[in-house]
């Protein structure tokens, strides 16, 4: 049964310049299937009433390949950051009320059960915003989760903008969130591009939420593999190997 108060937004507009592949990043095959298909399959287990895919590079091709899945497509004409991309879904969801799960279209290993835990925490805490984080001692270039002395969420700092001290933080952003719809689009219109990249960072919406008095809840995973984004040929090789080793649902 569909969850009428649940929508999913999947960010799938990226070109994937570092992939050395002419295909849009979400169309690059992983174990014989387009990368985006894995994310759609995970999202489908949540039974959302609406699934909006933000397309950009090779938009027509993405829409054609996934035309039979009951999706809604919105176009990001210019690549101006993840916050700008997510904002393109506002008009499509103008008549929707409820929760929105935001996913990246290039994360084929994200687990359905992890998304279910995220939603459960969001509901249990009666939260307006919930983020999936990774706890790991391994070095990576994910954004850092910054908390206050009491452990409450403060903000996310992108790796390239983090201070040396912030880079010592061992809790990382996954790029997976759950928001209440009204807060989400209000936050997206309140962020700016005052950063190194001159882009609108989706992560800034969480800091905005805290500033207006909406505490951010979180769910933690210790499985770094499931939040790998495919950005390079090496990432692709690693993900394909991990998929080969992943037990099938029947095992």
192: helix, strand or coil: coil
Output the CA angle 39-144-57, nearest 5 degrees. 40
pLDDT of amino acid 165: 95
pLDDT of amino acid 248: 62
Residue 59: pLDDT over 90 = yes
Average pLDDT, integer, range 165-189: 97
**How far is Cα 140 from Cα 38, in angstroms, rounded to an integer?**
23
Between 98 and 250, name the one with better pLDDT.
Answer: 98
Site of tokens 């805290």: 210
pLDDT > 90: percent of the chain: 89
Count Cα neighbours of 89 within 13 Å in the Cβ-side half-sphere: 32
Domains of the chain, by residue range, sit at: 3-245
The pLDDT-based confidence of 218 (bands split at 50, 70, 90) is: very high
Average pLDDT, integer, range 167-176: 97
With a CB cutoff of 8 Å and minimum separation 6, the contacts of 132 are 114, 118, 174, 176, 177, 218, 219, 220, 221, 227
8: helix, strand or coil: strand
pLDDT of amino acid 1: 77
Residue 237: pLDDT over 80 = yes
CATH, range 3-245:
3.90.550.10
The DSSP code for 219 is: E
Residue 130: pLDDT over 70 = yes
Residue 149's region, left for phi above 0, alpha for psi from -120 to 50, else beta, is alpha
Between 246 and 31, name the one with better pLDDT.
Answer: 31
Average pLDDT, integer, range 185-200: 96
Work out the mean pLDDT of the chain and round it to a whole number: 94
**How far is Cα 171 from Cα 178, in angstroms, rounded to an integer?**
18
Residue 247: pLDDT over 80 = no
Q: Are 132 and 177 in contact (CB under 8 A)?
A: yes
Backbone angles phi, psi at 20, to 5 degrees: 55, 45
45: helix, strand or coil: coil
pLDDT of amino acid 233: 93
The catalytic site residues sit at 18
Site of tokens 């954004």: 143
pLDDT > 70: percent of the chain: 98
pLDDT of amino acid 249: 54
Backbone angles phi, psi at 138, to 5 degrees: -70, 145
pLDDT of amino acid 251: 47
pLDDT of amino acid 27: 96
DSSP per-residue codes, 133-190: EEE-SS---PPEEEE-TTS-EEEEE-GGG--TTGGG--EEEEEEEEEEHHHHHHHHTT
Residue 145: pLDDT over 50 = yes
Residue 115: pLDDT over 70 = yes
Strands 3-12 and 99-104: parallel
pLDDT of amino acid 19: 82
**For 8-42, how does the pLDDT look when each residue is reduced to its tens digit (9 = 90+)?**
999 999 887 788 788 999 999 999 999 999 999 99
Average pLDDT, integer, range 235-239: 94
């Amino acid at each position: 049964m569909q969850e009428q108060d649940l929508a999913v937004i999947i960010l799938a507009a990226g070109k994937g310049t570092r992939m050395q592949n002419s295909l849009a990043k979400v169309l690059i095959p992983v174990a014989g299937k387009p990368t985006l298909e894995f994310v759609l399959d995970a999202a489908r287990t949540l039974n959302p009433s609406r699934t909006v895919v933000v397309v950009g590079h090779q938009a027509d091709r993405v829409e054609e390949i996934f035309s039979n899945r009951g999706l809604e497509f919105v176009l990001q004409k210019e690549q101006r950051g993840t916050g700008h991309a997510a904002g393109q879904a506002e008009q499509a969801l103008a008549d929707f009320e409820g929760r929105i799960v935001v996913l990246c279209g290039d994360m084929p290993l994200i687990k359905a059960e992890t998304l279910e835990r995220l939603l459960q925490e969001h509901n249990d805490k009666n939260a307006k915003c919930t983020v999936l984080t990774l706890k790991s001692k391994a070095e990576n270039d994910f954004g850092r989760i910054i908390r206050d002395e009491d452990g409450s969420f403060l903000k996310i700092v992108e790796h390239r903008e983090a201070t040396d001290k912030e880079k010592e933080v061992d809790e990382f952003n996954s790029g997976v969130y759950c928001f209440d719809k009204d807060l989400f689009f209000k936050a997206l219109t309140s962020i700016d591009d005052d950063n190194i990249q001159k882009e609108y960072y989706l992560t800034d919406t969480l800091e905005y939420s805290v500033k207006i008095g909406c505490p951010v809840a979180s769910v933690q995973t210790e499985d770094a593999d499931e939040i790998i984004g495919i950005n390079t040929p090496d990432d692709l090789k690693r993900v394909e190997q991990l998929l080969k080793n992943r037990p099938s649902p029947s095992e």
